[in-house]
Amino acid sequence: MVSTDSSASFYVTTPIYYVNDAPHIGHAYTTVAGDFLTRWHRQRGENVWFLTGVDEHGTKVQRAADAGGVTPQEWVDRLVSTDWLPVLGTVDAANDDFIRTTEVRHIDAVQKFWETVRENGYVYAAPYEGPYCVGCEEFKLAGDLLPGTGEFVGQQVCPVHGRPAEQLSEENWFFKLSAFAEQLITYYEANPEAIQPVSAYNEVMSFLRGGLVDISMSRSSVGWGIPLPWDEKQTVYVWFDALLNYITAVGYGQPADTDAGKLFAQVWPVDVHLVGKDILRFHAVYWPAMLMAAQLPLPKKVFAHGWLLVGGEKMSKTKLTGIPPAQIIDHFGSDAFRYYFLRAIQFGQDGSFSWEDMSARYTAELANGLGNLASRGTAMVNRYCEGKLPAAGVATAAEIALSDHLTAVLAEAEAAMDRLDFSTAIVSVKGFVDAVNMYVTEQEPWVLAKDEANTERLHTVLYTICESLRAMAVLYFPLMPKTMTDLWDQLGAAATIGNIADQRVGDIARWGQLPVGAPVTKGAGLFPRLEEVAE
Ligand code: MSP
Q: Cα of 17 to ligand 1 centre, how many Å?
A: 6
Would you call 321 exposed, middle or buried from its count of C-beta atoms within 10 A (0-12, 13-18, 19+)?
middle
Q: Would residue 317 count as lying in a domain?
A: no
Average pLDDT for the chain: 95
- Of 29, 106, 283, 291, the one to substitute when testing ligand 1's pocket (max ligand atoms within 8 A of C-beta) is 29
- Would you state the pLDDT for residue 142? 81
Structural domain boundaries, residue 135? 122-171
Residue 319: pLDDT over 60 = yes
* Of 138, 153, 171, the domain-final residue: 171
- Would you state the pLDDT for residue 161? 87
Q: Would residue 64 count as lying in a domain?
A: no
Residue 4: pLDDT over 50 = no
Q: Which long-range contacts (CB under 8 A, 24 or more apart) does 318-326 make?
A: 318/135, 318/161, 319/162, 322/21, 322/22, 322/24, 322/25, 322/26, 323/24, 323/25, 323/353, 324/22, 324/23, 324/24, 324/25, 325/23, 325/24, 325/25, 325/28, 325/87, 325/90, 325/91, 326/87, 326/90
Beta carbons of 239 and 137 less than 8 angstroms apart: yes
Q: Would residue 37 count as lying in a domain?
A: no
* % pLDDT > 90, the chain: 92
Confidence label for 312 from pLDDT (cuts 50, 70 and 90): confident
Is 176 marked active-site?
Answer: no
**The model scores a pTM over 0.85:** yes
Is 405 marked active-site?
Answer: no
Residue 535: pLDDT over 50 = no
Confidence label for 5 from pLDDT (cuts 50, 70 and 90): very low
Q: Would residue 448 count as lying in a domain?
A: yes
Q: Would residue 161 count as lying in a domain?
A: yes
- Of 12, 14, 16, 17, the one to substitute when testing ligand 1's pocket (max ligand atoms within 8 A of C-beta) is 17
Q: CATH no. for residue 151?
A: 2.170.220.10
Q: Would residue 465 count as lying in a domain?
A: yes
Per residue in 269-293, pLDDT tens?
Answer: 999 999 999 999 999 999 999 999 9
* Of 136, 156, 171, the domain-final residue: 171
- Would you state the pLDDT for residue 160? 87
Q: Would residue 99 count as lying in a domain?
A: no
* Of 137, 152, 171, the domain-final residue: 171
Q: How far apart are CA 104 and CA 66, in angstroms?
A: 23
- Would you state the pLDDT for residue 2? 37
Is 385 marked active-site?
Answer: no
Phi and psi for 246 in degrees, rounded to 5? -65, -25
Q: How far apart are CA 534 and CA 129, in angstroms?
A: 56
- 3-state DSSP call for residue 316? coil
The mean pLDDT value for 326-337 works out to 96
Q: Cα of 276 to ligand 1 centre, how many Å?
A: 6
Q: Would residue 127 count as lying in a domain?
A: yes
Amino acid at 392: A
Marked catalytic residue, from 112, 300, 317, 405: 317
Confidence label for 191 from pLDDT (cuts 50, 70 and 90): very high
Per residue in 210-258, pLDDT tens?
Answer: 999 999 999 999 999 999 999 999 999 999 999 999 999 999 999 999 9
- Would you state the pLDDT for residue 316? 80
Q: CATH no. for residue 424?
A: 1.10.730.10
Residue 532: pLDDT over 70 = no
| 86: Cβ contacts below 8 Å, ≥ 6 apart | none
Counting the structural domains of the chain, the total is 2
Confidence label for 311 from pLDDT (cuts 50, 70 and 90): confident
